[in-house]
Amino acid sequence: MRKLNYKATKGTKSEKDLAHDFSRFIDVADVELHYEFQDSKEETLIVLLHGFGANTYSFRKLLPELSKFGKVISYDRPAFGLTVRPKSWSGENPYSYDYQIRLLDELINSFSRIAKVILLGHSAGAAVATDWALLNQDRVKALILEAPAFRTFRSGPKPASKLLQSSLMNSVGPRLVAGFKKAGTKILYRSWFDDSGITQEVFDAYYLPLEIQGWEAAFWEFMRNGVQSTINQHLHEIKLPTLVITGDHDQVIPTRDSIGVSKNIAEAELKIVDSCGHIPHEEKPKEFMESLTAFISQL
């Protein structure tokens, strides 16, 4: 059995200590998953997958608008947000990339085995959404890829992987990522074209999970497992209505990368949001929803 080292933590609270009135938890694939949900009269299920370092807050204000088209669920991927961080496990690592695909599959099955699914993935979340969609094209109504982080994903272990998996790094790793707040702040500000939109509310929501006991160990476990995805090599196999949307000043995943993704998917539409960075759905929510509404309405 594998156990995480929680001794280096600066956090003092549990995930449920920090839960909101609208927070929900569900046991999926042996993980107690935190999610937010908006019901709808429509049968379509819309699943939202956040990017690296984000959580359900990122999509929160969009749920009411999206519920016009279906039931909406936004969830925290393992090591992020308020999803309860597994402290030990036997078998497959719950922080691995393959496990994220399994978790998404079981989550969707928990809500609907019949209705078609619309997947919206931002940045790193777009890879998880796309890998699942590629395996389940008959169940997908549409795919929405926002600033998809495909180019940066590796398909095999790095030479240092043995060191990363060593018992020494079980102890050292969590201490190394304890300084993530400083680096994360730089990434957050770099993600916006006009960073005046990063209010105290936004900042607090992104860093709320750093109050959780043991967040460092879980985050390190996620980081050292890397991303085992080869999705870039299979985009031509996607035969689904697809919208690729990005900002024209994306400094995290260059705009040209998103344009390249759109060209490699046969049925993809491309929308570039003006004067916008890496997170259009937060920085330009009105323009973002207009694009989604136009796209989903024609399905």
pLDDT of 179 reads 66
- Residue carrying structure tokens 């807050």: 57
Domain boundaries, the chain: 18-297
In 3D, which of 147, 145, 139 has the Cα closest to residue 45? 139
pLDDT in tens, 194-230: 999 999 999 999 999 999 998 988 888 898 876 667 8
Any idea which fold 18-297 has? Rossmann fold (3.40.50)
Report d(CA 172, CA 159) in Å as an integer.
19
Tokens in use for 249? Answer: 């000043």
- Residue 8: predicted pLDDT: 63
Query: Taking the model in full, what pTM does it have?
Result: 0.92
pLDDT on residue 160: 44
- For residue 179, CA distances in Å to 10, 63, 202, 216, 219 come to 11, 32, 19, 9, 12
For residue 131, the one-letter residue type is D
- Residues written for the chain: 299
Which residues of the chain fall below pLDDT 50?
Answer: 153-160, 162-164, 166, 168-169
Model pLDDT, residue 11: 86
Q: What is the pLDDT of residue 4?
A: 72
